[in-house]
Every structure is written in C-alpha cells, then in structure tokens.
Structure 1
Amino acid sequence: MRASYLTFPTVLSGFVAVLVGYASSAAIIWQAAAAAGATPSQIAGWMTALGIGMGVSTLALSWWYKAPVLTAWSTPGAALLATSLQGVTLSETIGIFIFANALILVCGVSGLFARLMKIIPHSLAAAMLAGVLLRFGLQAFSNIEGHLLLCGSMLLAWLLTKAFAPRYAIVATLLVGGAVAALSGDVVTEKLTFSVVMPEFIAPTFNVTTLISIGLPFFLVTMASQNAPGFATMKASGYPVAVSPLIVFTGGLALLLSPFGVYSICIAAITAAICQSPDAHPDASKRWLAAAAAGVFYLLAGIFGGSISGLMAALPLSWIQTLAGLALLGTIGGSLHQALHNENERDAAIVTFLLTASGVTLAGIGSAFWGLIAGGVCYALLSRTRGA
C-alpha cells in the first residue's frame, strides 16, 4: 500500500462509509439483541464481534481482489430480527444465526447465487443502486428545513469546494459541519465513554419451529435485500468481482463467529458506494484503499464496541445524514446515467428505480429485491416484443 495513493480523501471515504453504516442501523441491532434477551454487556460484545468480523473481511477481500469490497451487517435482517425474536431464548437466537449463515455458505459453495447474479442486466443493477441510494441523497436536502444553519453551511462548503477543489469537497463538508455543530452545542459528549467489551460465547439451541419461522425468512431477506444489492452495486460501479468466493468467505466467517453474536456479514451496498465513487480516488484501480481504510475503522469500532451507541448519540443525526447524502451524489448521478442511457432498456430501468426507491416491503423482503424482479419482468417482455 503506497503512501502516495493513500490520500486524505481516500481515508475519509472509508471513515464516512463506516460512520454511515453504524449511524444508520446500529440502533436496530441493539433492538434485535435486546428482543432476544441479551444483556447490555452481551450486546456490546456482539458489536465488538461484528466490528472485528467486518474489519477482517473488508481488509482481506479488498487487499486480495484490489477492489473496494466493503462488507456490512444485514440491516434488513436486523430489522426482521428485532420484530421476530420476542419470546425466543438467547441460545435459540444463536441457533438461528448459525442456521441462516450455514444456508448462505451453501449458496456460495453451490454457485447458485452467482448464477442468479449473472443474468441481471447492467442497466437494472444501476437502476436498483440509484433507487437504494435515493433516500440518502434526499436527506442531504430535507434536513435544511429544521437545521438551516448546520445543513446550509455544509451544502455551501460542499458546493464551493466542489467548484475549486473537488477532491476535498467531502473533507470540507465534514469539517465545516463538525465546527458548526460543535459551536451550536449540538455535539453531546457527557455520556461518551470508551470501553472494551470482549464477546461472549453463547452455546446454540436449535428449535425447528424458530429455524423455519425466523431463520429461513432471515436468510432470504439477507440474500435478497443485502447481498444482491451489494453485488449489484459493485457491478454498477465497474467491479464485477466473482460472486461465489465472496459469499463463501463472508458466509463462512459469519458462521464461525455466530456463537459470539455475529448474525451476518454481507457485501455492503450503500456504504460501499461511498468507497467506490470518484471522490474516494480519481483512479478506479486505487479505490480499494478506501475500503481498506474502512476495514481499519471497522476494527477500531469493534475494539470499542461498547462505546458505539454513545458515539452515535453524541453526533447530530442531521449532520450524519447530510454528509452521507452529499458523499453519494456522484454515485447516484452515475448510476442514473448508466440505467437510463440505453433507450431500449429505459422503461425496465425506471420501473426498477422507482419500485426500489419506494421502500415497499412484501413478504418480509425489501424493495431492492422486488425492484429487480419487476424490472426483470419488464426487461424480458419488452425486449421480446421490441425485437419481434
């Protein structure tokens, strides 16, 4: 890793990716763990194990493939668990984790998931990515209504820097926003402490009823709403990395760490887009360094897993959302261009984009999956009739 390639914007992209990932869903994971009856100390241990698992996998995969391969936990999966684990014992919850991660590993070894990913047209993958990211882009502007000074100053800093020093636009946005938030008293640090909590091994119990009613839907949601968008994001960003080896690695690592509270390790989508954008590095072949930096920040977040919730509470939500939205503007624009530039595929792509952006959930599966399904049907039907 040459120092000349590891610039400040590259490192910052990795930091923002991890910050956005934790800020957007760490609270959901705490809710899911609490629903299963985990104690605060056990939950902190889960966060430690998750951070270390994501850090190791991100660093190893990005270095091996020299591509920005960012891993993440399954946010849709955590949401499903948070609403499904009431009345389930902690040992049964660990059994669910092991069952679902074993199924993911089987998908990777068999190559089934890879075969499915190969048939997704590039325009639909790009449209789905744009739909997934749309709400983050909207948040960069929707917060202006209630936080004019903070968000307005961040937008102004981004615009001026983008015009004269575009590589440092997000750097300036972060610094200006942080300064305004601190001067306004919006950064609360009284309860912020740094502590190290070791993960606790929990012996699993396998209950057939919970495995079928919770484990199987959790597996499907994780594959359809997290891994599929993750690979589509990489494909849309120009990194068509082999699918099966990544599923085997992430699924196997999650399976190994399941008794310590690691419910999933998946291929990231939204946060990965930050590391895969031109803002991370102008040279696409060097953007893996941004993901590697994110891996280091994951490890740090894991070591201080007990402090994550306090850190998230200390930062203004509007600051995090505005920073994330502005960091993703370039990726959203590029994805829309790729999705819509081919006139023959435009109708299918716009269906994919709008259905994905709608946020609708059917049968417990998120809109990204249904966007691809609907877009794929349109693509197949319209391609046949137009080619006739």
Structure 2
Amino acid sequence: MSETTVAAPARGGWAQPAIAGLVAALVGFAGSFAIVLAGLHAVGASDAQASSGLLVLSLGMGLTGAGLSYRYKMPLSVAWSTPGAALLITAGHVDGGYPAAIGAFLLAGVLVVVTGLSERLTRAIVAIPGPLASGLLAGVLLQVCVAPAQAMVQVPGHAAPVIATWLVLWIVARRWAVPGALAAAAITVAVDPAPGAHAAHLLPQLTFTMPHLNLGTLIGVGLPLFVVTMVTQNVAGISVLAAHGYATPVRPALTTTGTASIVGAPFGAHAINLAAITAAMAAGPDAGPDPKRRWIAGSTSGLVYVVLGPLAGLATVLLAASPVVLIEAVAGLALLGTLGAALRAAMADDDLREAAVATFVVSASGISAFGISAPFWGLVAGMALLGAQRARTLVA
C-alpha cells in the first residue's frame, strides 16, 4: 500500500466537486444516521447519550475528512462505521451496560491506531480471508435486515407507509430511497407518536460517559467492531480510492481516524473511519473530470458533516417518538444492498465457502458465551473450519 499522494491540483472549476461532496454528505448522513442511533440505543445509550454520539461522530468525521483531503490533495472521505453500528444493534444489551460499550469503542479506536503504526498488523488484517470477513458482516446485518418484516407485524400503521415510500423511490430514484423512508417515518410518527414517547432536546449536548472495561464486552464487541470497521470500511475505502487512481496514505489515514475515534468514544462515537460507499461519489467522475480537483469533494463533504452535526438533536427527537422496531426497520432497508453484497462475496470462493457459511451462521445466531457475543464466535468458527480444511488437505 503506497503512501504517495496525487500531484498538486491544477487550476480548474471547484463547483462540480463541491456539489458532489455536498450530495455525498447529505446521502451519507440521511441514509445511515438511523442505524447509528439504533445501535447506540441498543447497547444502552439514553436519548441524550445517543444524540451526543451522533454529534461527535459528525464533527469528528467532518474535521478529519476535510483535513485529510486538503492535506493530501485527494478525496479522503471519512464516515462513521455503518456496519459497526449494525453490529451494536445485533449485540444489544452488553455486560456492564453502556459504559462497557464505551470501553469497547475505545479498544476499537486504539487497535486502529496500532494498526496504522504497524505494517505487520496492517498486513494481518488485510490477510483475513475476504469471504470470512463478508460472512461476519452478513451475519451481523441479517438480524437488522429482518426488522422491516417485524415492523410490518408489530406496527403496520407506521411501517407500511415507510416501506412503500422506500420501494417507490428505490425504483425511480434509488439514491433517495432511504432518506425518503426516513421522511415517511417522521410523518407517521408525528401523526401517531409511540405510546409513552418523551421529549428530547432539539439541540444535542455533549454527554461524557466514563468508560468501563469489561473483558467480555471488550472481546465480544470491541474486537468485532475493530475487524468489521477495518475490513468493510477502511480496507474497502482504500480499494475504492485505488480503483479511481488514488494511492491512499494508509498510515496517516488510520492513525488520524483512529485517534478521532478514541477522543470521541467517551462521548458516544463508536467508530470513525474511511468512507467506502460515499467515497466513490467523491472520488469518481461525478466529482469532476479532473482527478486532481476531486479533493475538493472530500473536503466539502467533511465540512457539510460538521454543519449537519447539530441536527443530531432533531434526529434523536425522531428516535424518541418512534417505536424502536420502526427505526430498526429503516436501518434494515438501508442495509439490504450491503447484506446482498456481503452474501455474494462470502459465497464467491468455492474453496472458502463452507468456512464463510460457518462464520455467517454463527455470527447471525445471536448466541453469547462467556459474556462474548456472536460475531466474535462467528469469526472463530470460520477460522477454525478453514484451519481444519487446510489440515485435511495436507494429510490427504
């Protein structure tokens, strides 16, 4: 992984890359903030703590994305870990409660920084077989993606308009399907708020939570959060940039985003990392014909996230007035495409398919052993089966 940079930008227009960055940030925020809030809520965050987490995530990824893009003159878009937030939804209540989840966030951030400082560890993470990593991600996402079906049974009056809106927009304007579903959810909740809904602050407030280091939660949530974030966000983001001709400055990117995660963790930031999906919007032709000017898209995207941060309070108001399953349903709709891609990647290699399936089914099982949640055991099961398969090959 080279750490050279794209040459300094030539003169040219800034409007097209700036607009691409604006759209990328709006789509990224509107399309996945519900997943982040649902994840924080699932591991025990109060409305105020979830709002604080969303605010700090927005500020952290905005400032790091804008700074890295400007420093290296390439579209180094930064995002929160959407798969990581889905992992939190799957984990649910953890041993030690929300303070223990904060400890897991800290561990994941520290491991990202250590990875950025260690070439050997970077190679080890990249060496995790892709199908197994995809099986882990698919197992995490499956439990979230069944939420729309559950919502149709539990709260059909709320869920039906949301799913119908998503379906129509998915057909005619796919990029806006999830934001449209969120808008539909907001309308249905305004008309018929959940019983017992309580008021929340419109303006987010920083809420510090003292981390608690619980061994089971560190292993069961912190390690899988690190692996999922590294493989599905950082490594994927580096690959997206490489596909568009950019050599990512890997170490500075990892140490910067990992440090931002560490600083933000006590305030509820679960993971700040390189963007993957929205990275393509800032690095591709939509951001302008001149690749040397596309860093403007990355910086603009970051600045827009900083502006969007104060909307965390308004987003939490929606969560407070919504049935929990409705917010999870929106998250599930947003992640259907990611689940499909993960399943396809997990099954792509004939030699690794059984190990990937083992990783998937154990990760999706929802089991907990020794206080350690299913995704960790899923990766253990997959690696164990892969090791047994290779041993059998040597014996044969």
Q: State the TM-score, normalized to the length of structure 2.
A: 0.68
Kindly indicate whether residue 133 of structure 2 is the aligned counterpart of residue 125 of structure 1.
yes
Deviates more, 1:185-194 or 1:143-152: 185-194
What are the ranges of 5 or more consecutive residues in structure 2 without an aligned counterpart?
A: 1-15, 243-247, 288-293
Residue 47 of structure 1 and its aligned partner are, at CA, apart by 7.0
1:70 aligns to what? Answer: 79
2:33 aligns to what? Answer: 18
2:97 aligns to what? Answer: 83
1:326 aligns to what? Answer: 333
The residue type equivalent to 1:228 in the other structure is V
Residue 357 of structure 1 and its aligned partner are, at CA, apart by 1.1
- Structure-to-structure mapping, 1:284-299, within 5 angstroms: 299=306
Residue 54 of structure 1 and its aligned partner are, at CA, apart by 4.4
Kindly indicate whether residue 161 of structure 2 is the aligned counterpart of residue 147 of structure 1.
no
Q: Secondary structure at the match of 2:148?
A: helix
Q: Secondary structure at the match of 1:359?
A: coil
Q: How far, CA to CA, are the matches of 1:186 and 1:97 in structure 2?
A: 30
- Structure-to-structure mapping, 1:228-247, within 5 angstroms: 228-234=227-233, 235=235, 238-239=239-240, 244-247=251-254
The residue type equivalent to 1:121 in the other structure is P
1:89 aligns to what? Answer: none
The residue type equivalent to 1:344 in the other structure is D
2:117 aligns to what? Answer: 109
Residue 101 of structure 1 and its aligned partner are, at CA, apart by 6.0
Residue 233 of structure 1 and its aligned partner are, at CA, apart by 1.4
Q: Secondary structure at the match of 2:20?
A: coil
CA contact (8 A) 1:196 1:306 kept: yes
1:36 aligns to what? Answer: none
Residue 56 of structure 1 and its aligned partner are, at CA, apart by 2.8
CA contact (8 A) 1:102 1:252 kept: yes
The residue type equivalent to 2:350 in the other structure is E
CA contact (8 A) 2:56 2:269 kept: no
Residues 151/26 of structure 1: CA separation in 2 closer, same or farther (3 Å cut): closer
The residue type equivalent to 1:156 in the other structure is A
Residue 262 of structure 1 and its aligned partner are, at CA, apart by 4.0
Residues 17/68 of structure 1: CA separation in 2 closer, same or farther (3 Å cut): farther
Q: Secondary structure at the match of 2:17?
A: coil
1:90 aligns to what? Answer: none
Can you list the C-alpha shifts for 1:20-60, whole angstroms capped at 9, x where unaligned? 202331474646x9xxxxxx8x9987775555334434555
Kindly indicate whether residue 256 of structure 2 is the aligned counterpart of residue 249 of structure 1.
yes
The residue type equivalent to 2:340 in the other structure is G
What are the ranges of 5 or more consecutive residues in structure 1 without an aligned counterpart?
A: 34-39, 87-92, 205-209
Q: Secondary structure at the match of 2:369?
A: coil
The residue type equivalent to 1:15 in the other structure is A
Q: How far, CA to CA, are the matches of 2:79 and 2:24 in structure 1?
A: 17
Residue 117 of structure 1 and its aligned partner are, at CA, apart by 0.7
Residue 131 of structure 1 and its aligned partner are, at CA, apart by 1.1
Can you list the C-alpha shifts for 1:130-159, whole angstroms capped at 9, x where unaligned? 111111210121110022233223323333
Residue 291 of structure 1 and its aligned partner are, at CA, apart by 9.0
CA contact (8 A) 2:31 2:178 kept: no
Q: Given the alignment, which residue of 253, 264, 271 partners 1:266?
A: 271
Q: How far, CA to CA, are the matches of 1:99 and 1:122 in structure 2?
A: 23
Can you list the C-alpha shifts for 1:35-93, whole angstroms capped at 9, x where unaligned? xxxxx8x998777555533443455567766365423597659965743869xxxxxx9
Residue 333 of structure 1 and its aligned partner are, at CA, apart by 1.0
Residues 66/47 of structure 1: CA separation in 2 closer, same or farther (3 Å cut): closer
Can you list the C-alpha shifts for 1:183-206, whole angstroms capped at 9, x where unaligned? 445599973443464678x9x9xx
Q: How far, CA to CA, are the matches of 1:289 and 1:22 in structure 2?
A: 29
Deviates more, 1:45-54 or 1:328-337: 45-54
Q: How far, CA to CA, are the matches of 1:78 and 1:302 in structure 2?
A: 25
1:374 aligns to what? Answer: 381
Can you list the C-alpha shifts for 1:315-340, whole angstroms capped at 9, x where unaligned? 44343222221121111111111111
Q: Given the alignment, which residue of 335, 351, 354 partners 1:347?
A: 354
Identity of aligned residues (%): 25
Residue 127 of structure 1 and its aligned partner are, at CA, apart by 1.4
Q: How far, CA to CA, are the matches of 1:81 and 1:57 in structure 2?
A: 32
Residues 46/357 of structure 1: CA separation in 2 closer, same or farther (3 Å cut): closer
Kindly indicate whether residue 170 of structure 2 is the aligned counterpart of residue 170 of structure 1.
no
Residues 159/365 of structure 1: CA separation in 2 closer, same or farther (3 Å cut): same
Residues 351/290 of structure 1: CA separation in 2 closer, same or farther (3 Å cut): farther
